[in-house]
Amino acid sequence: MQIDKIIAEDAAKAVKALYGIDTDPAAIVPQATRKEFEGNLTIVVFPWVKAARKAPEAVGNEIGQWLVDNEPAVSAFNVVKGFLNLVITPTYWNGVLAAIEADPSYGVTAATPESPLVMVEYSSPNTNKPLHLGHLRNILLGASLSNILAACGNKVVKTNIVNDRGIHICKSMLAWQRWFDGATPESTGAKGDHLVGDCYVAFDKHYKAELAELQAKGMTKEEAEAASTVMADARAMLRGWEEGDPEVRALWERMNRWVYDGFDATYKRMGVGFDKIYYESQTYLDGKKKVLEGLEKGVLYRREDGSVWADLTADGLDEKLLLRSDGTSVYMTQDIGTAKQRFDDYPIDKMIYVVGNEQNYHFQVLSILLDRLGFSWGKDLVHFSYGMVELPEGKMKSREGTVVDADDLMAEMVNTAREVSASLGKLDGLDETEIDAVAETVGMGALKYFLLKVDPRKNMTFNPRESIDFNGNTGPFIQYTYARIRSVLRRAAEAGAGGADYAAVVPNEKEIALIQRLSDFPAVVREAGRTYSPALIANYCYDLVKEYNQFYHDCSILRENDPAVQSLRLAISDATARTVRTGMGLLGINVPERM
């Protein structure tokens, strides 16, 4: 059992024995003692002061003495106001370390047949443009959250909903017909999603030029928009799609296939995937059916013009359109249809949507509607609302072609990682294949870590050069420390070091601090799963390697003469490397064995 749980259970026993107070051990959360005080773990005693009818210091002293007398793991204590600081018996930490070393899946809880099934939706791209920096944050958050929830013992299904229909898709299609002279990915050498994205940008360029020309003739902006022939043609194409026009549908399928091939290549390089992909073109009709069912049941209503609405005023919201007067659907309808298909496909216990915070209201409404329409998990759906990501230059705009393309960014990150690593001598002695592998690992690790280390609920600015730094809170710093530890362990194995019994060794302050940090890992994983925050894992890994680097600086390992002490330090090193590999793996980040 972990030391914090042991202390929590014993503290509950102490409170019962001393004051007759029943306390749930789960409500007692020992924290690492602040560095300016003596101790390893601290308990707050204020919750029992009133019932004990004693001053906080007296309660702390009595509980502390009870623990020293009854728990071998506690050797001493001190009280600072209402805070009880406990000194853990130094050799006890050796047992903690041994338990970590003996657990091949330390920090990870396997799912069982009885585990809840959690579905996580992320990515959700449109098929009129390639994935960009904004998508990267979404995808990396969704993939890492899925890993973390699985590590917390859940069954996890990773899903994607592709927005493959609508006016934005028709804009790209029309532009390709008009201005791209039959271009294909094969004829141009471009990735399919990039080619279609160029079409989307071209449409916007011609549309703006037409508006400017009409306004120059005296029209207002609104009049020009209404008179635009290019936009009218795009809307006509959308009607053709809705009506099943074979030529429109054939072009739609062809261009979407180009995009899907491009997306697949991008996902592969990112190291992410999905268990099930849904398509709006296949879900919106189910959504319309579900809305009409809700109309029949009286949970929705129809207005005089034939449109269908939900009245949410009793929930403190407004009225929400679900079907237009002409019977066409809106985004909410599609989400309802996708929910129906997912519920048919899987026994969902919890649904998590990874979507930016500009959609907060949308998911408030969706939760209420799904509940009214009979989805058991609807009321408790989770909108994992994350902040926007920008560049130092400011916001990005897809239609103006000012977004940072995901493929270009990943290539730039890998190239920069190669340059920086070479300039620092990190690639010395490696052959070209190893150099390519290290550059890919470091570049992608830098990108992923920089996007994941920030609290997901906050807006952030991504600085590519700052992310590839071998000092500070960065992916490369953590990766390099891991490679350093692996190098130490290889040299130790070659020298035949390790294997001695370290149970009786009295660990020093640095060794205890590192073992205690390692012992925190399972709780960090649980908390990251509870709060949906990959940032907790990222920053834990950074704090752990910082602690290890201090230990490495102060404590000799390969030159240590005492075999037992050397074994203790090698065990600490091995446990640190394994924990870093697991933690970074939960973020979808690889760590290099050599660097």
Distance between CA atoms of 139 and 130, rounded to whole angstroms? 13
What does residue 311 show for φ and ψ, rounded to 5 degrees? -95, 110
CB 470 within 8 A of CB 422: no
CB 17 within 8 A of CB 66: yes
Return the bridge partners of 77, or none. Answer: 86
CB 74 within 8 A of CB 86: yes
**CA nearest neighbour of 379 among 410, 351, 354, 408:** 351
Q: Please give the structure tokens belonging to residue 281.
A: 């073109």
Q: In this predicted structure, what is the pLDDT of residue 329?
A: 82
**pLDDT by residue, tens only, the chain of 595 residues:** 688 889 999 999 999 999 999 999 999 999 999 989 999 999 999 999 999 999 999 999 999 999 999 999 999 999 999 999 999 999 999 999 999 999 999 999 999 999 999 999 999 999 998 998 889 999 999 999 999 999 999 999 999 999 998 899 999 999 999 999 999 999 999 999 999 999 999 999 999 999 999 999 999 999 999 999 999 999 999 999 989 999 999 999 999 999 999 999 999 999 999 999 999 999 988 999 999 999 999 999 999 999 999 999 999 999 999 998 888 788 899 999 999 999 999 999 999 999 999 999 999 999 999 999 999 888 899 999 999 888 776 544 444 445 688 998 999 999 999 998 899 888 888 899 999 999 999 999 999 999 999 999 999 988 877 888 888 899 999 999 999 999 999 999 999 999 999 999 999 999 999 999 999 999 999 999 999 999 999 999 999 999 999 999 999 999 999 999 999 999 999 999 999 999 999 999 999 998 8
Q: In this predicted structure, what is the pLDDT of residue 396?
A: 43
Q: Please give the structure tokens belonging to residue 164.
A: 């493959």
User: Hunting for tokens 């635009």 — which residue is that?
Assistant: 228
Distance between CA atoms of 64 and 42, rounded to whole angstroms? 10
Q: In this predicted structure, what is the pLDDT of residue 397?
A: 47
Q: Please give the structure tokens belonging to residue 291.
A: 């809305």
How far is residue 462 from each of residues 270, 324, 450, 451, measured CA to CA in Å? Answer: 17, 40, 7, 7
DSSP 116: P
Strands (E) in 144-229, as ranges, are 155-162
Q: In this predicted structure, what is the pLDDT of residue 393?
A: 66
